[in-house]
Amino acid sequence: MNYSKIKLVVSDMDGTLLNSKHEVSPQFIRIFRELQQQDIKFAVASGRQYYSLSERMDAIKDELIYIAENGAIVMHRDEQLHIVPMEKEVVHEIIKEVRKLGGKYLILCGRDQAYIESTDPEFMEPFLNHYEKYKVVDDLLEVKDDLFLKFTICDLSGAEKNSLPHLKHFKNRLQVKLSGEIWIDFNDKEAQKGNALKAVQEKMGVKEEETVAFGDYLNDIELFQHSGYSYAMKNAHQEVKDVATHHAGSNDELGVEKVLEELLNSIKSTKA
């Protein structure tokens, strides 16, 4: 496979670049440095907040492009390249409706930080794996003085079967995506990873055919639609596998790293 024209790599985080312990491998840091030497840029694209992504990628945090909150914001070297906030009235409507379902944990994702009402231990464990800056409040409806980028439901009983069927009608007005087994994300209709990737490509002067994307869940499909090469992880949702142009090993098998090694070897052999 000829990767000689690749200029940008974009990867989802959880279930893709991060292993099951939410760790970045030492191999990736080495590979990232080699990509830099070939003048290939790297973007991480996630439903996570920007602050969580930056903390997780601490060793190289100032050198990455961050597509955060499912594409609602793009950051690079502390510069905001792209932002698509939600309307507060719509956010309030979702909160009121989800509360009627009962048994769900709610996260309001602002530009400055995330906001939660509950600190139940069973919720805080997965929450703290994805959020770095947050504030506990009595009522999400009373949060002011922040831009709302995303609203998230944590359904520990299984989001796809137990929450999504009751909330599909919001898809007429919003992006409503399963971003994991227990997560459902709501964003503005224009806020999605694909549109954010397009903004990055335009800013960096990169074409779709010069882009490689990796992902595992439904909010990664838009990345694939704007990439010349798309890799679904072995552990990916079946719908993601169906639309990807290629498959990679699982996140616990260094699937991303192995493909990037092939990419680097291909580029080096072409230049030899």
Fold annotation for 8-83+191-271: Rossmann fold (3.40.50)
Query: Do residues 230 and 213 touch, judged by C-beta distance below 8 A?
Result: yes
Q: Residue 272: what pLDDT?
A: 65
Domain ranges for the chain, please list them. Answer: 8-83+191-271, 88-188
Over the chain (272 residues), what is each successive 10-residue block's mean pLDDT? 90 96 94 96 95 92 96 95 96 96 96 97 95 97 96 96 94 90 95 96 97 94 97 97 98 98 91 70
HSE-up (13 A, CA, CB side) for residue 183? 24
Query: Do residues 236 and 17 touch, judged by C-beta distance below 8 A?
Result: no
Q: In this structure, which amino acid lies at residue 19?
A: N
- CA 100 to chain centroid, in Å, comes to 28
Residue with tokens 């009402």: 117
Just give the CATH number of 88-188. Answer: 3.30.1240.10
Consecutive H or E run containing 265? helix 255-271
User: Beta-carbon neighbour count of residue 25 at 10 Å?
Assistant: 16
Q: Residue 3: what pLDDT?
A: 86
User: Beta-carbon neighbour count of residue 237 at 10 Å?
Assistant: 21
Query: Do residues 175 and 186 touch, judged by C-beta distance below 8 A?
Result: yes
Q: Residue 179: what pLDDT?
A: 82
Q: Which two tokens stand for residue 234?
A: 């072995």
Query: Do residues 245 and 224 touch, judged by C-beta distance below 8 A?
Result: yes
